[in-house]
Amino acid sequence: MAVTKILPILAVVLIPATGSAGNQAIAGELMAGKAKAEAACQVCHGLDGRAVVPMAANLSGQQKQYIIAQLEAYRSGQRRHEQMSIIAKMLNDDDIENVAEWYSSIKITIEMPN
Ligand code: HEC
């Protein structure tokens, strides 16, 4: 078999064995979350989670579980907001997990006022 044919097979076999499957799952969530944030969130929350409209929340560095809980609450109607209620209904469970992974993974630094 030609080397060019063997290499992709080796990659498929070896990558799960060498890399941690957990880390790869997180990396997948992160990239899917970034893509979703670009498509559906950044006009108000920024891709970096710094809100670009005054009434939207900053999401960078927010707790992942908090983001998930709020999106589920908007989706179920438990929490209501004219824009977020509509947006959350367009997200499936994976989307929620992924965008929460994205925004919670952005590192922020805090500076107290003097
Ligand atoms: C059209 C503007 C707009 C878009 C687009 C938008 N949001 Fe929001 N978002 C808001 C506003 C405004 C609020 C504050 C709502 C409120 O007062 O309940 C909010 C609130 C939230 C909150 C609650 C924050 C908190 O501190 O409780 C989360 C989480 C959130 N948005 C996530 C998202 C995600 C994820 C997306 C993309 C899938 C998204 N939003 C898209 C405007 C937007």
The count of domains in the chain is 1
Distance 84 CA to ligand 1 centre (A): 5
Q: Which residues touch 114 (CB under 8 Å, ≥6 apart)?
A: none
CATH number at residue 32: 1.10.760.10
- What confidence score (pLDDT) does residue 17 get? 47
Three state DSSP letters for 16-64: HHHCCHHHHHHHHHHHHHHHHHHHHCHHHHCCCCCCCCCCCCCCCCCCH
Whether residue 61 contacts residue 101, with contact meaning beta carbons closer than 8 Å, is answered with no
Distance between Cα 101 and ligand 1 center (Å): 15
Q: What is the pLDDT of residue 97?
A: 98
- Cα(110) to centroid(ligand 1), Å: 22
Which pLDDT value is given to residue 13? Answer: 45
* Residue 80 near residue 11 (C-beta atoms within 8 A): no
Q: Determine the pLDDT at residue 78.
A: 98
Of 42, 24, 26, 33, nearest to 91 by C-alpha is 33
Pocket of ligand 1 contains residue 73 by CB under 6 Å: no
What are the residue ranges in the chain where pLDDT is below 50?
A: 13-18
Please state the pTM of the whole predicted model.
0.86
Its domain, for residue 24, covers 19-105
pLDDT of residue 64: 98
Binding site membership of 67 for ligand 1 (Cβ less than 6 Å): yes
- Asked if residue 2 is part of any domain, the answer here is no
Closest C-alpha residue for ligand 1 atom 33: 41
